[in-house]
Amino acid sequence: MVAALQKKISESATARWIVLALVAFTMLCGYFITDVMAPLKPMLEQQMGWSSSDYGFFTSAYGWFNVFLLMLIFGGMILDKMGVRFTGLMSTVIMVIGVGIKYWAIASDFGGASVTIFGSVISSQVLWAAIGYAIFGVGIEIAGITVSKIIVKWFKGKELALAMGLEMACARIGTALALSITPLLAEEFGSVSMPILLGLLLLCIGMISFVVFVVMDTKRDRELKDSAELEEPFRFRDIFEIVRIKGFWYIAILCVLFYSAVFPFLKYAPDLMFNKFGISEKLSGIIPALLPFGTILLTPFFGNLYDRRGKGATIMLVGSFMIVAVHLLFAVPAFTNWLLALVLIITLGIAFSLVPSAMWPSVPKIIPENKLGTAYALIFWIQNWGLMGVPYLIGKVLDNYCVVDNATTVAEEITGVVAPETVTRVAYDYTVPMLIFAGLGVLSILFAFLLLRENKKMGYGLQQPNIRK
Ligand SMILES: NCCCC[C@H](NC(=O)[C@@H](N)CCCCN)C(=O)O
């Protein structure tokens, strides 16, 4: 291994897989923090006096600065101007600062202090935790586009989709770990803030991992100094050139539609399991949690398939069809067997491996490399609107159109047994929300078709393998 590294880092396969491991580990740490609070909702309510609205306010903070302050767009421009090393280090520092503020807010006693924002009273603790999370959101999203560009830089013409699939698989391990071990840690240490501190430590290790990458990447660039492989510098007018490309819009819109039918769905999936399939509240997260676990193996698998066989646009189309079928079956009121829910979540996991494994490695086939950072940033920015807006819309629809008169009625109808918690909470009919998710899927099919057609017209090579022989 050392001999391979000493030879020529730009030509060494070992070196590029080490680079992938280093940056994928940084992303694993970031995704762990992203989801670390999700399983702590009941503890935040019981121990810190948070309400569901407080939790919703905090969760939505992830996208605030990215969407409204255009931080993602600026991040993309910085990435193309300053390069992957500077931007990656900057984004990890931003993440550490954000998590530090969040940890401080959760671990501190604010003595019940509150502030009034736009007429709503918000506890100071919730506000500071949300500000920390919003700063972290800027860091992790900019890190996401940076890592995508790093993978393109090191793997172009080689195992690009497999590398991206493996990176996403590592990120999903972070999500899966957060969902599974966080409640255990919090209970073991008797503290809600403890898992966040662990995440902060993990992130510091992730930062060191990125520093090692910086050393390797500097060496590679020195080797390629006089070669044509070095990137052209970014110019501001590149942004206008990107938004003039039809293929860019098709893939960006497909991205926001498809991801809005998955991530926001997952936020409501445990509640769906409870209300429609009669699974108790305590166990309602188990079936949805299978989704990130499933994608850990399948995303690199489909990535590898795309690298060797091509058919990227077809893969995205198939994934979009599958998501429509899953959401439509979830919407049928008569289908209430938990085994069907299990099969549908597994199918959704396959769809959620298919589309990302082909989507992200397809972007460099449409956009030139020196504009990639900005292009990924624009796609993430458009996607963040959906990730913020769709959960809000579904919440409103549930409250206004889907409340079932009596909580016990639904549970009794489905299971014949009334679980103790059904008596104390509102029950929902999920038919309309599931039709909304299916509608997003139908629009995804449309844009996947448009992308396929545009690919034929423009010859992007989305149906060609990524590995050049
Ligand atoms: N190299 C691929 C990068 C994209 C991975 C993609 N991430 C996103 O789309 C993020 N903007 C949002 C992540 C939200 C996490 N809860 C992914 O599939 O994770």
**Predicted local distance difference test score (pLDDT) of residue 119:** 84
**Predicted local distance difference test score (pLDDT) of residue 276:** 94
Residue 259 CA, ligand 1 centroid: distance in Å: 9
**Predicted local distance difference test score (pLDDT) of residue 423:** 42
Residue 285 CA, ligand 1 centroid: distance in Å: 21
For residue 266, pLDDT over 90 is answered with no
Residue 403 CA, ligand 1 centroid: distance in Å: 32
Q: Return the ligand 1 atom nearest residue 34 CA.
A: 16
- Cite the DSSP H helix spans in 69-192: 71-82, 84-107, 124-155, 160-189
Name the residue at shortest CA distance from atom 17 of ligand 1: 168
Residue 280 CA, ligand 1 centroid: distance in Å: 30
| Residue burial 426-443, b: 16+ Cβ < 10 Å; e: rest | ebbbbeebbebbbebbbb
Residue 342 CA, ligand 1 centroid: distance in Å: 24
Report the residue among 360, 362, 363, 376 best suited for mutation to probe ligand 1: largest number of ligand atoms under 8 A from its CB: 360
Say how many C-beta atoms besides its own lie within 10 A of residue 309's C-beta.
15
Mean pLDDT over residues 220-243, rounded? 74
Mean pLDDT over residues 355-377, rounded? 92
Q: What domains are defined for the chain?
A: 1-220 (1.20.1250.20), 232-469 (1.20.1250.20)
Window from 71-75, 233-237, 445-449 with minimum mean pLDDT: 233-237
Residue 335 CA, ligand 1 centroid: distance in Å: 31
Element (H, E) at 242: helix 238-243
Q: Return the ligand 1 atom nearest residue 383 CA.
A: 11
Name the residue at shortest CA distance from atom 1 of ligand 1: 148
Average pLDDT, the chain: 88
Window from 146-150, 163-167, 401-405 with minimum mean pLDDT: 401-405
Q: Return the ligand 1 atom nearest residue 147 CA.
A: 1
- Between the ranges 76-85, 139-148, 382-391, where is the mean pLDDT highest? 139-148
Establish how many alpha carbons lie within 13 A of residue 159's alpha carbon, considering only the half-sphere containing its beta carbon. Answer: 16
Residue 148 CA, ligand 1 centroid: distance in Å: 10
Q: Answer for the pair 228, 10: CB distance below 8 angstroms, yes or no.
A: no
Mean pLDDT over residues 105-110, rounded? 93
What band does 281 get if pLDDT is binned at 50, 70 and 90? low
Residue 389 CA, ligand 1 centroid: distance in Å: 17
The single-letter DSSP state of residue 244 is T
Q: Return the ligand 1 atom nearest residue 171 CA.
A: 19
- 325 burial level (CB within 10 Å; 0-12, 13-18, 19+): middle
For residue 411, pLDDT over 80 is answered with no
Report the residue among 156, 255, 380, 381 best suited for mutation to probe ligand 1: largest number of ligand atoms under 8 A from its CB: 380
**Residue type for position 361:** P
Report the residue among 387, 388, 390, 466 best suited for mutation to probe ligand 1: largest number of ligand atoms under 8 A from its CB: 387
- Separation of alpha carbons 385 and 257, rounded Å: 10
Residue 290 CA, ligand 1 centroid: distance in Å: 18
Q: What is the pTM of this model?
A: 0.86
Report the residue among 363, 379, 383, 384 best suited for mutation to probe ligand 1: largest number of ligand atoms under 8 A from its CB: 383
- Separation of alpha carbons 351 and 440, rounded Å: 14
- Separation of alpha carbons 462 and 190, rounded Å: 51
| Residue burial 120-137, b: 16+ Cβ < 10 Å; e: rest | eebbebbbbbbbbbbbbb
Window from 129-143, 179-193, 312-326 with minimum mean pLDDT: 179-193
* Residues near ligand 1 (Cβ within 6 A): 34, 141, 144, 148, 164, 167-168, 171, 259, 263, 356, 360, 380, 383
Q: Return the ligand 1 atom nearest residue 148 CA.
A: 1
- 266 burial level (CB within 10 Å; 0-12, 13-18, 19+): buried
**Predicted local distance difference test score (pLDDT) of residue 292:** 83
Residue 144 CA, ligand 1 centroid: distance in Å: 7
Q: What is the 3-state secondary structure (H, E, C) of 50-98?
A: CCHHHHHHHHHHHHHHHHHCCHHHHHHHHHHHHCHHHHHHHHHHHHHHH
For residue 409, pLDDT over 80 is answered with no
Name the residue at shortest CA distance from atom 7 of ligand 1: 144
Q: What is the DSSP string of 352-364?
A: HHHHHHHHHHHHH
Report the residue among 259, 306, 357, 390 best suited for mutation to probe ligand 1: largest number of ligand atoms under 8 A from its CB: 259
